[in-house]
Structure 1
Amino acid sequence: MSILRFPFPSAYPGEPAPEFARLRETEPVVRVLLPTGDTAWLVTGYEDNRTVLSDPRFSRAATTVPGAPRLQPIPPDPTALFSMDPPAHTRVRRLASRGFTPGRVAALRPTTERETDQLIDELLETGPPADLVAGFARRLPIAVICELLGAPAADRTQIAGWVDVLLSLTAFAPAEIRAARMALKQYIAQLVATKRRSPGDDLISELIKVRDEQNDRLSEDELIMLGCTVLTGGFLTTASQIALSWLCLLRHPAELARLRREPDLLDGVVTELLRYNALTTGGGLIRIALEDVRLSTATIAAGEAVLPAIAAANRDPRVFADPDRFDPARTDNRHLTFGLGVHYCLGAQLAKMELEVAVNAIARRMPGLRPATDVTLLGVQSGHLVRGLPELPVSW
């Protein structure tokens, strides 16, 4: 059986690598060689992806064991929420979920709307052309996630830089990634110390209260890593999704015009953007099989790694009619962008809210928005887990 090199090249931002479609039909479970030199089973079909994402026989905690196959240059931190299995994961996630309740997400909407309007004001004041990535898409999510945690606005640029490094595949050396992880952990530890002395109405202050009043529920390392996880998961993916979403809308002017005429269509547009845009090199985080598990066309042996290709699953024609067409009117849109099972994205509703606000506000306030360059020539961000846009030049 052939072993392919992963990740596959993608010719266009937001589009899944063409190799995914071929594999989904011919070798839906196939061995791949990762940048680290390790091998894994890549899974491209929708149903197989559901199994890998939700079956407890596929472990995230096992990826932290020394020598375990990995996708990124350094092993995952075992105290990170996404590196845990139940019951530890259940305990920590229950506490972390306090920051992402419907009430807290709703409370963050005015902040998100205010930040969005301020960024648009700056774009309009400066005038075209502008880069929608640097001028908007990267700035909004870091503002919202820092507001959620209680991190000072002055630290946003530094935090964003650490996250860029942490989500690297080949763009940064292992030593640089370790240094960024350590710097972010030290930053959160200092933020925790500050919030202990002077609590606020933020997630870190709330988790400190849980930690200090119920000492056996959350360790200090877990508390610090929760802050790191929220920052890592809440910035770059959302920033890239916003940029790719506007690229998609600009490539589909009829759908954009319809949204402007009928703003009530926003929910369907955002849901379809989440399905349509191939945000990462493949999708989900790597898992290790705890026992032999049979998938559609292959058996994953105990100890072997498996990589769910969510970008491929979201274009599976067995589930999505005409999957390569951007269709905001699509019904029963069961995309897997936020994952499935116990590791379903903790901040899914927050990310969706931010995308809704960003799409709605720009569509409403910048009716003449158009590309300032040939969009077919835009580059794909390489060397990272998240395949966002390096830039999106626009005019109006």
Structure 2
Amino acid sequence: MSPKSPVSYPFPWAPAPDIPEDWKTMRDDGPLLEISLPSGDPALMVTRYKDVRRLFADERLSRNTARYPASRISANNDLFGDPEIDNDPPRYLIERSVVMRAFSARRLEALRPVVRQITADLLDEMEQAGSQAELMEAFAFPLPILVICHMLGVPTEDRAKFRRLIDGYLSVSRLTEEEVEQCRVQYWDYLSELIAGKKANPGDDLISELIRISDEDPEKLTDYQLQHWVKTLLIAGYVTTASQIGTGMAVLLHRPAIADELKADLDLVPSAVEELLRFQIMGASLGSLRYAIEDIDLLDGTIIPKGSTVLLSVESNMDDEIFHNPAELDIRRQDNHHMTFGAGIHFCAGAALARMELQEATDGLLRRFPGLRLSVPGEKLVRPVGGFLSGYAEIPVSW
């Protein structure tokens, strides 16, 4: 490892919609980078793609960070640490198999017309309001909220409430410890009431399906685990997708020549979405926090010492041993096996849903508004401070 002092993480963002400079150079000093988390605690970041991909399946890296003396992401928020939830095999694989049954191809395919209709309705509202909009509030936030409400069977009138609670739950340094705890308790209580209502009156929705699966075999999914997974799915289904829709569009529109290329050939939307996911400039690798329960050899013989807190870097999407000209946005890039959704047994359960929403959102926006452009220079877009994700707070657009 480098003798340098730990680097503050997450890295500072570029002023324009572009990747941080550190993403391009972080592999120069080797496969491990010593970092300092927002809490001030130390960690090791695995920087190289091949190591990252392999370690996603390595059971010597535990995700049960609340059960070990792992470094904290935040001084004010435990975030994803829950000692009652086992995020490692074999227990994790049992619960994941239950969730993946509920995320069947049949259910997702039936959802596509719903996503398309919600997209069209939001675009109608944008068009009727004039020739400009603030993209996050008009489109990027409501689309995934409405979709996940529909999918999970959450009343749409609750969307503002759970958005507020989720934003508080995901605070890294923006809120005080007391404010974070209040959001956590209220969010958990809200989910308890929601699940109780579904048990009493089940419907054709994902929560009801998870309840049915749990009732078939309570050993697979206890009430607490059921509530944990619903909490996780609501967060993942809303905030990450919303941030990616908005930030991905900002990245694209900041590059008018590339945006025009895509507008001229919307058949490129699937590959463009994958490339914007690879760029992944709305977040960092904090969600990949793990704890080394044994010494682990990397491919070049470097050792991750037992007892280390480890991040598996999404920034490995910029590894030039894997991706040609990785710092360039190439909407025609093929075989784009990025790390944005993880890998192996920890590949994101909602990846197919996210891809569907991102494709429908991108195609819908550019098809409806071929003149879509940023209303301000990309350098003027502002990122919120102290949240788990760092997508733009506002993205003014016009057409």
Fold conserved (TM > 0.5)?
A: yes
Displacement after TM superposition at 1:168 (Å) = 1.9
Deviations 1:2-45 (A, max 9, x none): 22222221123653321232221124312212122321101222
* Contact 2:18 2:251 survives alignment (8 Å): no
Cα distance in 1 for residues equivalent to 2:82 and 2:18: 30
Cα distance in 2 for residues equivalent to 1:12 and 1:285: 25
Cα distance in 2 for residues equivalent to 1:283 and 1:101: 28
Decide which moves more: 48-57 or 320-329: 48-57
Structure-2 residue corresponding to 1:64: 66
Structure-1 residue corresponding to 2:83: 78
* Contact 2:9 2:38 survives alignment (8 Å): yes
Deviations 1:37-70 (A, max 9, x none): 3211012221222233221111101x01164322
2:288 maps to 1:288? no
Structure-1 residue corresponding to 2:139: 136
2:10 maps to 1:4? no
TM-score norm. by structure 2 comes to 0.94
Q: Secondary structure at the match of 1:163?
A: helix
Cα distance in 1 for residues equivalent to 2:344 and 2:112: 26
TM-score norm. by structure 1 comes to 0.94
Structure-1 residue corresponding to 2:312: 308
Q: Secondary structure at the match of 1:394?
A: strand
Q: Secondary structure at the match of 2:34?
A: strand
Q: Secondary structure at the match of 2:310?
A: strand
- For residue 197 of structure 2, what is the amino acid of its counterpart? T
RMSD, matched Cα? 1.7
Structure-1 residue corresponding to 2:277: 274
2:247 maps to 1:244? yes
What does residue range 301-340 of structure 1 map to in structure 2 within 5 Å?
301-310=305-314, 312-340=315-343
Aligned length: 392
* Contact 2:382 2:393 survives alignment (8 Å): yes
Decide which moves more: 98-107 or 254-263: 254-263
Counterpart of 1:258 (choices 257, 261, 267) is 261
Counterpart of 1:193 (choices 184, 192, 196) is 196
* Contact 1:28 1:297 survives alignment (8 Å): no
Cα distance in 2 for residues equivalent to 1:362 and 1:79: 42
Cα distance in 1 for residues equivalent to 2:68 and 2:184: 18
Cα distance in 1 for residues equivalent to 2:267 and 2:387: 35
Structure-2 residue corresponding to 1:383: 386
Cα distance in 1 for residues equivalent to 2:230 and 2:309: 28
* Contact 1:14 1:279 survives alignment (8 Å): no
Residues 243 and 113 of structure 1: is their aligned pair in 2 closer, same or farther, counting only changes over 3 Å?
same
Cα distance in 2 for residues equivalent to 1:341 and 1:79: 24
Residues 283 and 256 of structure 1: is their aligned pair in 2 closer, same or farther, counting only changes over 3 Å?
farther
Structure-2 residue corresponding to 1:156: 159
Q: Where in structure 1 are there 5+ consecutive unaligned residues?
A: none
* Contact 2:144 2:241 survives alignment (8 Å): yes
* Contact 1:283 1:337 survives alignment (8 Å): no
* Contact 2:17 2:379 survives alignment (8 Å): no
Percent identity between the aligned chains? Answer: 38
- For residue 82 of structure 2, what is the amino acid of its counterpart? D
- For residue 137 of structure 1, what is the amino acid of its counterpart? A
* Contact 2:16 2:378 survives alignment (8 Å): no
Cα distance in 1 for residues equivalent to 2:195 and 2:48: 42
Counterpart of 1:90 (choices 93, 97, 103) is 93
2:173 maps to 1:170? yes
- For residue 70 of structure 2, what is the amino acid of its counterpart? A
- For residue 304 of structure 1, what is the amino acid of its counterpart? S
- For residue 34 of structure 1, what is the amino acid of its counterpart? L
Displacement after TM superposition at 1:338 (Å) = 0.2
